[in-house]
Chains A and B, each alone.
Chain A
């Protein structure tokens, strides 16, 4: 099985990311006790006692081994700040992030593929311009700006949607951004494929433009999607984090942001590791999809 090697390498990467994340957290000055101390006016003795209770007085190595041992046993530990199980906090936040990311990705793929396919089938209409416009939109307008503009227009002036807690606007903003990234390269690829002899053969046997694009061209263009998938994934994750903070969604991005601000290392370590694992799994899936879709890579 040729997949074993990449899986093994990615697992190694995941382990190394664990170390990296841990070190990165410790570079940040201050710890949760400092934050609690400022907020709650703790005395020096109380702070020391709290550090000992949370296990923060132990050396880095001890803390690291505790975290690794716990994580391998499936125990993510307690939040340093809220004293709640980290697994429970992630379990609450994860569905929010997954829902946002999945809906945005679904919308982006549907919109991007549809726009590229229709533009390829009707090269003389308005559709190629639409693909171009989508592309310029996603290059030139960061989701941060579009999200803010959407809040201004639809929440505050028109009053159609609440600012916080709704999914429609963040999904639309992220989805259109993804569609713009997909549509242009896919359209280029579709045009190239349309110019090849086997398409002329399909046309000669009497197939219409719709049937040709759907049945012959699109399946052959799947490779383009997997080649832009890494870029889209990175944009999707960063975009989802920004959208969560902007629209007040209680997802992993908001959780990570609060954990950084509160120096809640146990939460942050697990969240960041989860993000890294997510990227790794998604890359493996994209690789697998590429192999399945393109017989030349098999």
Chain B
């Protein structure tokens, strides 16, 4: 169990942190996330061309004025497809993460609240699902649900949901036996108040941290599924589809593969950095040190 190390060092660092860095720790990560969201929102609008428009006379062109990232194997503008794909990528990843959080944490916490037997049953099932590789699970769900933006979001969301249930259980069990909860019980605080004021914020913090870890993985999973031809429908421009479509022609038009690979790496990098800040912000012991 990945227990937190002795807190003394972190507390010392947090106390010693200059006042300036105590400005809301959420500002930086939320700014980064807003940036990614904005990019996804306006991306298709600022695309210089129709991402679906094919010019078969201008296939596999290298980057040049007018087609800043070149064209792909069907003569479509790579930059326009990249920008149009950004929205779907961010939409699917964000939606899947939110779904995983809602389903996983909701189911897990409901089972914990319902008593020992339901919790044992639900978490037994969840442990089983966790023994299956998530890529295979996503693949199977994808085939079962069919292609499209909705199905791919649901498939990725459901395949990540078990991790949220487990995180919720860990946080719940840890907080329930924490010394401060014991103190609140001893001082006669009503259980509902303890739940709302003490336990809920800490469980929520753990879940937000997990969401920050899962978000970039959801981006990658969407690309892998699209790459395998199982994600959104074939005409929809996504980065995974662009990579899959460009790979057979990569020797003549490496830019058509390189552009989505770089975009994908940049997006996961930004999301991972934002996630690290969120982790710091959600952990009171690390607050002010990030």
Considering only CB atoms, which chain A residue lies closest to B223 in the complex? Answer: A144
- CB neighbours (8 Å) of B1 from chain A are 227
Q: Are the C-beta atoms of B135 and A272 separated by less than 8 Å?
A: no
Task: Enumerate A137-170 residues with CB–CB distance to B below 8 Å.
Answer: 139-142, 144-145, 148-149, 151-152, 156-157
Min C-beta distance of A268 to chain B, whole Å: 8
**CB distance A245 to B228 under 8 Å?**
yes
A interface majority secondary structure: helix
For the complex, give the distance between the alpha carbons of A142 and B272 in Å: 11
Q: Are A13 and B131 in contact (CB under 8 A)?
A: yes
Q: Is the CB of B144 within 8 A of A275?
A: no
**With an 8 A cutoff between CB atoms, is A241 at the interface?**
yes
Give the interface SS of chain B, mostly helix, strand, loop or mixed: helix
List A contacts of B269 (CB < 8 A): 140-141
Nearest to B264 among chain A residues (CB) is A145
Within 8 A of A (CB), among B241-290: 243, 250-251, 254, 257-258, 261, 264-265, 268-269, 272-273, 275-276
Alpha-carbon distance A257/B139, docked complex (angstroms): 8
Contact residue range for chain A?
Answer: 35 or more
Q: Distance in Å from the Cβ of B150 to the closest Cβ of chain A?
A: 16
B140 touches A280 (CB 8 A): no
Interface residue? B2 (CB, 8 A):
yes
Contact-residue size bin, chain B (C-beta under 8 Å from the other chain): 35 or more
Q: How far is the CB of B70 from the nearest CB of chain A, in Å?
A: 14
A276/B220 contact (C-beta < 8 A), A141-B268, A148-B243 known: no
Interface residues of B (CB under 8 A from A): 1-2, 5-6, 124-125, 127-136, 139-140, 143-144, 146, 216-217, 220, 223-224, 227-228, 243, 250-251, 254, 257-258, 261, 264-265, 268-269, 272-273, 275-276
The answer to whether A140 and B217 touch across the interface, beta carbons within 8 angstroms, is no
Q: Give the CA-CA distance A25 to B143 in the complex, in Å.
A: 10
What's the Cα separation between A166 and B131 when bound, in Å? Answer: 28
Task: Tell whether, in the assembled complex, residue A29 and residue B144 are in contact, meaning their CB atoms are under 8 Å apart.
Answer: yes
Contact B133 A20 (CB under 8 A): no
**B-chain residues with CB within 8 Å of residue A24 when the two chains form the complex:** 140, 144
CB distance from B161 to the nearest CB of A (A): 15
Contacts A144-B220, A188-B5 given: A28-B265 contact, CB under 8 Å? no
Residues of B close to A152: CB separation below 8 A:
250, 254, 257-258, 261
Asked if A220 lies at the interface with its beta carbon under 8 angstroms from chain B, I say no
Q: How far is the CA of A163 from the CA of B137 in the complex (A)?
A: 27
Q: For chain A residues 4-27, which have a beta carbon within 8 Å of chain B?
A: 13, 16-17, 20-21, 24-25, 27
Q: Identify which of residues 257-298 in chain A touch chain B, using a CB-to-CB cut-off of 8 Å.
A: 257, 260-261, 272, 275-276, 279-280
7 closest A-B pairs by CB:
A142-B220, A140-B272, A140-B269, A238-B135, A276-B131, A237-B133, A279-B131
CB nearest to B1 among chain A residues: A227
